[in-house]
Amino acid sequence: MTGEADFRTLTPEAVIDAVESLGLRADGRVLALNSYENRVLRVGLEDSAPVVAKFYRPARWSDAQIREEHAFVRELHDEGLSVVPPLAFAGETLHAHGTLRFALFPLQGGHAPEMDRADVRLALGETLGRLHAVGARMPFRHRESLEIDILGWASLDTLLEGPWIEPALHDSFEDVGSALLEAVEERFAESEGAIQRRLHGDLHPGNVLWRDDRPHLVDFDDARTGPAVQDLWMLLDAEPRRRETQLTDLMAGYERFCEFDRGELALVEALRALRIVHFHAWIARRWEDPAFPIAFPQFADRTHWERVLAEWREQLSVLREA
């Protein structure tokens, strides 16, 4: 059974059954929250605050990888960082319901961080410095590393082998995509000595909530091993002068708790290139999930792929000029 078919069976009744299998009493209120890769729902309880139920996409992560993510978040929480580890029942945080695996989390609120404020950037830098100091203590044993073969070349193959790119554009995508990833490999080779540590892995502003005058980090689903700059570059503006100001504030907080190798900044445009290639391959791999054609209707449009090709060419130019 595919992951998409499994998710189709995830009715409100099935969600309530899963939650109640852990000894809780649901009050019948189930609200879907924004998530594409997994299914995340707010579930009301009769005698306590609502919980968030996260149902993991089948075949994405192994049980060991999910548990390692949970343990990392718990470790960060125990160090005083504002993160939310999953709730444990009989000592276990990962549970099964039918063919699906799920975890429950306390419901936490917050709003988007005001990234144009220096004090917000300073506080976020402090949080990241503390996170990376903890992340450097030991390696992940099961989670993936940030690798060009996985995020880059395998993603390019997915797009070239699929039905989305028209034959007239196919050769151009192969040539530009290959040149782009070769430039990424060159940039990574120049930064071969970068320290590898446990990371959040997908730290863009949408995964930061602000409450009680401090940043709260959410969604460690892409936690992986890699250089520290992976958790920094998505918080920075593409415009050089604004980016420099933002980086100054982030580093002022970060380096109170953890050293940062400024040489890693040379990887920013390479990491951006990996992300724009991988993003489209991610959609392609999930196309059989009914949520994806609805969310990304432009994916089947020729003009979309012409824009993507132009974006790749522009990023290749940026990498070669940097």
Q: Which of 17, 27, 175, 202 is catalytic?
A: 202
Q: Is 219 a catalytic residue?
A: yes
Q: How far is CA 2 from CA 57, 63, 132, 290, in A?
A: 9, 17, 36, 13
Q: Is 202 a catalytic residue?
A: yes
CB 177, CB 299: distance < 8 Å = no
- Angle in degrees, CA 142, 145, 148, rounded to 5: 145
- Give me the catalytic one of 219, 222, 231, 289: 219
Residue found by looking up tokens 């149902």 in the block:
55
Contact of 143 with 224, CB cutoff 8 Å: yes
How far, CA to CA in Å, does 91 sit from each of 22, 66, 86, 95, 205? 12, 15, 11, 11, 32
* DSSP structure string for 138-165: S--SSSPB--HIIIIIHHHHHHHHSSSS
| Residue 275 parent element (H or E) | helix 268-285
Q: Which helix (H) or strand (E) holds 55?
A: strand 51-56
d(CA 110, CA 120) in angstroms, rounded, equals: 14
8 Å CB contact between 77 and 105: no
Question: Which is it for strands 95-97 and 100-106: parallel, antiparallel or unpaired?
Answer: antiparallel
Find residue 210's DSSP bridge partners.
111, 215
The rounded distance, in Å, linking the Cα atoms of 245 and 236 is 9
Active site amino acids:
202, 219
